Amino acid sequence: MKATLDALQRDAEGLGELRLMEVCGTHTVALFRTGVRDLLPSNVRLISGPGCPVCVTSQGYIDAAIEAAASGEVTLCTYGDMLRVPGQRGSLEALKARGARVVVCYSIRDALKYAQAHPKEQVMFLAVGFETTTPASALAVLEAARLGLERFTILSGHKLVMPAIEALLADPQADLHGFLLPGHVSVILGASPYRPLVDEHGLACVIAGFEPQQLIDGVARLVAQIKAGAPALENVYRAAVRPDGNPHARAITQQVFVAEDTEWRAMGVIPNSGLALRDEYAHFDAFKRFSLSLGADYDPPGCLCGQVIQGRVQPPQCPHFGKGCTLTQPIGPCMVSSEGTCAAWFKYARRA
Amino acid sequence: MCLAVPGQVKEVYGEGLERLAKVDFQGSRVEVSLAMVPDAQLDAWVLVHAGYAIEVLDEREARETWDYLKTAGLYDEIPPALEPKP
Amino acid sequence: MSQVLMAHGGGGELTRQLLVERVLPRLANPLLNPLLDSAILERPSGRVCLTTDSFVVQPLFFPGGDIGRLAVCGTVNDLTCLGARPLGLSLALILEEGLELETLERVIDSLARTAEEAGVPIITGDTKVIERQRGDGILINTTGIGVLPEGLDLRPARINAGDLVILTGVPAEHGLAILSVREGLGFETALASDAAPLNGLAAPLLALPGLRFMRDPTRGGVAGVLADLVEETGLSVEIEERALPLSPIVRHASEMLGLDPLNVANEGKLVIVIAPADASTALARLRAHPLGRHAAIIGQIKPSTPPLAELITAIGGRRIIQRPMAEATPRIC
Ligand code: SF4
Three-state SS for A311?
A: coil
Chain B residue with CA closest to C294: the answer is B78
If you average pLDDT over residues A36-56, what whole number do you get? 96
Please give the pLDDT value at position C155: 87
- Has residue A311 got a pLDDT over 90? yes
Least confident of A86-100, B67-81, C113-127, C306-320: B67-81
Chain A residue with CA closest to C326: the answer is A328
Q: Do C331 and A338 touch (CB under 8 A)?
A: yes
If you average pLDDT over residues A150-177, what whole number do you get? 95
CA distance B48 to chain C (A): 7
Q: Are residues A250 and A267 in the same domain?
A: yes
Q: Which is nearest to C140 in space by CA: C50, C67, C242, C199?
A: C67
If you average pLDDT over residues A320-343, what whole number do you get? 93
Please give the pLDDT value at position C134: 64
If you average pLDDT over residues C285-314, what whole number do you get? 94
**Reported ipTM:** 0.89
If you average pLDDT over residues A312-318, what whole number do you get? 95
If you average pLDDT over residues A191-207, what whole number do you get? 97
Chain C residue with CA closest to A29: the answer is C258
> Hey, CA dihedral for A333, A338, A341, A344, is it positive or negative?
positive
Is residue A235 within 8 Å of residue A207, measured between CB atoms?
A: yes
Q: Which domains does chain C have, with CATH numbers?
A: 6-35+43-148 (3.30.1330.10), 156-320 (3.90.650.10)
Half-sphere exposure of A326 (CA within 13 A, CB side): 11
Three-state SS for C210?
A: coil
pLDDT confidence bin for B65, thresholds 50/70/90:
low
Beta bridge partners of C269: none
Q: Are residues A146 and A177 in the same domain?
A: no
| pLDDT digits 0-9 by tens, C104-113 | 999 999 999 9
pLDDT confidence bin for C328, thresholds 50/70/90:
low
- For ligand 1, atom 8, the nearest C-alpha belongs to A303
Q: Are residues A156 and A251 in the same domain?
A: yes
Domain that holds residue A277: 54-160+245-289
- Has residue B78 got a pLDDT over 60? no
Please give the pLDDT value at position A98: 93
Is residue A206 within 8 Å of residue A18, measured between CB atoms?
A: no
Chain B residue with CA closest to C243: the answer is B81
| pLDDT digits 0-9 by tens, C15-74 | 888 888 899 889 988 888 777 788 888 888 889 999 999 999 888 999 999 999 999 999
pLDDT confidence bin for C321, thresholds 50/70/90:
very high
Higher pLDDT, C87 or B6: C87
Q: Which is nearest to C55 in space by CA: C195, C252, C180?
A: C195
CATH number at residue A184: 3.40.50.11750
Q: Are residues A40 and A59 in the same domain?
A: no
Contacts of C306 in chain A (CB under 8 A): 351-352
Q: Domain for residue A115, yes or no?
A: yes
Please give the pLDDT value at position B82: 38
Q: Do C315 and B73 touch (CB under 8 A)?
A: yes
Boundary (domain end) residue, out of A289, A310, A325: A289
If you average pLDDT over residues A319-324, what whole number do you get? 94
Is residue C104 within 8 Å of residue C89, measured between CB atoms?
A: no
Q: Do A36 and C184 touch (CB under 8 A)?
A: no
> How many Å apart are CA A257 and CA A274, to the nearest integer?
9
- Has residue B75 got a pLDDT over 60? no
Å from CA of A303 to ligand 1 middle: 5
Q: Are residues A84 and A135 in the same domain?
A: yes
Structural domain count, chain A: 2
Give the rounded percent of residues in chain A with a pLDDT score beyond 90.
88
Q: Domain for residue A297, yes or no?
A: no
- Has residue B27 got a pLDDT over 60? yes
Structural domain count, chain B: 1
Q: Could you tell which of A55, A320, A345 is best to mutate to test the pocket of ligand 1, judged by most ligand atoms within 8 Å of the CB?
A: A320
User: Mean pLDDT of all residues in chain A?
Assistant: 94
- Has residue B79 got a pLDDT over 70? no
Contacts of B17 in chain A (CB under 8 A): 139, 142-143, 146
Please give the pLDDT value at position C44: 82
| pLDDT digits 0-9 by tens, A220-245 | 999 999 999 999 999 999 989 999 99
Residues in chain A: 352
Residue B45: Cβ within 10 Å count: 25
Classify residue A250 by its DSSP letter.
H
> How many Å apart are CA A137 and CA A156, to the nearest integer?
9
C 164-203 → A contacts, CB under 8 A: 184-186
Please give the pLDDT value at position A352: 56
- Has residue A321 got a pLDDT over 70? yes
Å from CA of A348 to ligand 1 middle: 16
Query: Is the minimum distance from the CB of A331 to ligand 1 under 6 angstroms?
Result: yes
Å from CA of A352 to ligand 1 middle: 17
Higher pLDDT, A3 or B58: A3
Give the rounded percent of residues in chain A with a pLDDT score beyond 70.
100
Domain that holds residue B61: 5-82
Q: Does C142 touch chain B (CB under 8 A)?
A: no
Residues in chain C: 333
Contacts of A210 in chain B (CB under 8 A): 2, 4
pTM of the complete model: 0.90
> Hey, CA dihedral for C10, C12, C14, C19, is it positive or negative?
positive
> How many Å apart are CA A306 and CA A87, to the nearest integer?
15
Contacts of C312 in chain A (CB under 8 A): 35
- For ligand 1, atom 1, the nearest C-alpha belongs to A321
- Has residue B84 got a pLDDT over 60? no
Q: Could you tell which of A28, A48, A91, A331 is best to mutate to test the pocket of ligand 1, judged by most ligand atoms within 8 Å of the CB?
A: A331
Query: Is the minimum distance from the CB of A315 to ligand 1 under 6 angstroms?
Result: yes
Please give the pLDDT value at position A291: 93
Higher pLDDT, C51 or A351: C51
Higher pLDDT, B26 or B76: B26
Residue A222: Cβ within 10 Å count: 31
Is residue C99 within 8 Å of residue C55, measured between CB atoms?
A: no
Least confident of A112-121, A297-306, C182-191, C206-215: C182-191
Please give the pLDDT value at position B69: 54
CATH number at residue A109: 3.40.50.11740
pLDDT confidence bin for C10, thresholds 50/70/90:
confident
Query: Is the minimum distance from the CB of A304 to ligand 1 under 6 angstroms?
Result: yes
If you average pLDDT over residues A13-19, what whole number do you get? 95
Is residue C200 within 8 Å of residue C289, measured between CB atoms?
A: yes
If you average pLDDT over residues C240-249, what whole number do you get? 91
- Has residue B58 got a pLDDT over 90? no
Is residue A76 within 8 Å of residue B19, measured between CB atoms?
A: no
CA distance C130 to chain B (A): 37
Query: Is the minimum distance from the CB of A164 to ligand 1 under 6 angstroms?
Result: no
If you average pLDDT over residues C204-229, what whole number do you get? 96
Query: Is the minimum distance from the CB of A306 to ligand 1 under 6 angstroms?
Result: no
Q: Do B47 and A184 touch (CB under 8 A)?
A: yes
Give the rounded percent of residues in chain C with a pLDDT score beyond 70.
96
Q: Are residues A58 and A152 in the same domain?
A: yes
CATH number at residue B63: 2.30.30.140
Q: Domain for residue A134, yes or no?
A: yes
How do strand C65-66 and strand C296-302 relate by DSSP bridges?
unpaired
Q: Are residues A134 and A281 in the same domain?
A: yes
Please give the pLDDT value at position A61: 96
